[in-house]
Structure formats: C-alpha cells, structure tokens
Amino acid sequence: MWNDRLKDHKIILASGSPRRKQFFEDMGLDFEIRLKKVEEVYPSLLQGSEISDYLAELKADAFDGSLEHNDILITSDTVVWYKGKSLAKPADLEEACEMLTELSNDWHDVITSVSFKTSTSQKTVNHTTKVKFKALTPDEIQYYIEKYKPFDKAGGYGIQDWIGLIGIEEIHGSYTNVVGLPTQLVYKTLMNMVS
C-alpha cells in the first residue's frame, strides 16, 4: 500500500542490522541498503535520547553530498539507558555478563532514534520503551551469553532471544523498538513526509 505513496522516492536503509532489514521487509517496503563506516562516538554530556539522536544523525551525516533529490535515507541507533548511563554493545563475555547482572530484577529504558535525511532536510524521531527483567540467575545469564553471543546488541541482550522469552516480565511501549526499530513511528514519519 505505502509503496504507491513512496513510488517517487528511493528508500535507503543505512544499517547493517539484520533485525532492521527484516522489519523493512516485513513492512513491505521497497528499499536498498547502503553502508558507510562511522565511528560511533558522542559527547559525554549527552543523556538518554540525546545520545541515540546524535548517533543516528552522525550516521546520516556520512552521506552528505551523496543523496539524490528523491532519496530518503534512514539511519537508526538504539541505546539501553540504566540509572543515568548508557549500556552500549558489550565488548566481550565478561562485559555482557556485567550488563545483564545490572539489569536483572529492575527496569531500564530502551531508546531508539531514527533519522530521515533527504538532500535538503533531516528529521529525527525517537521512542522509549520501559523494560523489566525478572531476577536473572548467574546460570541463566551465562547460558544466554555463551549460546547467543549478544555482542552486537545494546545492553547485551535481544528481547527476541531466549533471555527475553524467559526473563522479561513487563514492557511499557513498543516491542519492535526494543528489537531495534519503532516500526509504527517509521511508518507514521514516512507517511507524513510524502503526504
């Protein structure tokens, strides 16, 4: 349906995330993937959604000067925010274990920002989902990390993985946002851009 509305535009997903690619496919979007390497560093004074907004826009800025007039470039970044700090992708098993131990038996925020860039404009939106883990045992954490190796996931976990199925008690907000893309917000923003 929405490809008719978008037929005069080329949608470009600038993400190597297999989950975001799958969401675009599941939503029936015609799109192509373009990747540019970006060093994901942000000013230390940024907090929460300011971090994910900044990084989503940083990824989009890498395409400055290369977009055609009908291109819509979509970049995204997800942050796990817990007690005033960002939990990024864990570097190794030990760091993933520390993150999940911290998140155990508590609430945290998952914030995903999505930037929509054309040759003449840029719009960034974000969504926050509150997530509550049960009290995870050390054995559950160890099993999950060794079997699923969640080193490409902010906060060291994927809600769609085993740990999410057995460990998440409640969420307030968008489920797809926690997976890595607030699909309803992407749809709404794209529709507004071409209305």
Q: Which residues are catalytic?
A: 77
Q: Return the structure tokens found at 34.
A: 């373009």
Residues in the chain: 195
As a whole number of angstroms, the distance between CA 186 and CA 115 comes to 9
- Rg of the Cα atoms in the chain: 17
CA dihedral 132, 23, 20, 64 (to 10 degrees): -130
CA distances from 92 to 119, 128, 155 (A): 39, 26, 12
